[in-house]
Amino acid sequence: MTDSSTATERRAGKGSARAAAAVSARPRVNIAILTIRDDEFRAVLDVFPMKAGIFKGAHREYTLRHADASDGAQYTVAVLRQLEQGHGEAQSAANDCIRDLSPTLILVVGIAGGLPSEDIRLGDVVIATRIHDFTVSAKKYGEPATYSTTGGPIEKALAVAVANLAGKEDVLGDWTAGLPSPPPVRWTKKGQLYGPEEWQKQLRAKLQHHYGESAAPRAPIYKDGAIGSSDRLIKDPEELFPWITTARHLLAVEMESGGVFRAVQGSCPMLAIRGISDIVGLQRADAWTKYACASAAAFTRAFLRTQPVPIAASPVVADPL
């Protein structure tokens, strides 16, 4: 081995150690990205490979990454994985993140369940401009559940930026280019659909529209609108009937954004970016869960190129060597 090759390896090793080093001072984080599942966390890390260290705050530990904000600028993002599912942990994680980092935006990135729709299908991305929180409910004997809906719209400035995304598609670019091939969708065998007969009938028609022999293949799209959020994993279509009656035009359902929405009030805006991993009434396929994680992460990377919030200075990573 030559002296020059030894020196090269030494410099490479030093660079890797520096990238993985702990950040000693509180970093200036522009955006915090909250994930729930391990596959969501890993998908986000994959699309932001530029390492900026690990920060151990007073309440949580964060993986720091640099993100392209276009025009030669960069965000510093802090990626955090929740300890468990649900609104309570989501609210706690968001509160800790605000205390530790004071981000200018919190993103909830991961998967969600979709409803039968002619517009949205598996792998598409939903940007939640309104959160309907269905956590508070009452169930009397012999009567359907009723809900005291909370939540609300996202901050206006952020909603305006989302509404204008179609005007920034040159900045977004082809955000689906790096996604794997979509898995197959099967719904014709017995047991693959569930729920009331009318729900199955509508779902079957929507699946035929998207995936039937005459359907044209397409890449995932993004769509903004309302999502429903609660502490329960909703797999029973009948539980959705009161939600659909209370909040029209729901695009997806999930378990965390309501808690984050509560936490950020008066502190910073939040936005949920959710890949559709399953449709309520269709048995979930694990391959679509992985695909939806990748889809949500890929769109998040493209979304940051539109500069939804101002850019602050990057943190200085301590050099332990």
Q: Which of 76, 35, 270 is nearest to 158 (CA)?
A: 270
Q: What is the predicted pLDDT for the residue at 12?
A: 42
Q: Which residues contact 32 (CB under 8 A, 6 or more apart)?
A: 62, 77, 78, 79, 80, 97, 101, 103, 105, 106, 107
- CB proximity list for 3: less than 8 A, separation 6 or greater: none
What predicted TM-score, i.e. pTM, was given to this entire model?
A: 0.86
Q: What are phi and psi of 55, to 5 degrees?
A: -110, 125
The structure tokens listed for 57 are 């705050």
Token pair of 282 as six digits: 């269709």
The letter for the amino acid at 236 is D
**pLDDT given at position 317:** 41
Asked if residues 60 and 93 have their Cβ atoms less than 8 Å apart, the reply is yes
Q: Which domains does the chain have, with CATH numbers?
A: 8-304 (3.40.50.1580)
| 286-304 helix and 38-47 helix, angle to the nearest 10 degrees | 40
pLDDT along the chain (321 residues), means of 10: 45 47 82 97 98 96 97 96 91 97 97 92 97 68 59 94 96 96 92 88 94 93 93 59 66 92 94 95 92 98 96 49 30
Are the C-beta atoms of residues 110 and 36 closer than 8 Å to each other?
Answer: yes
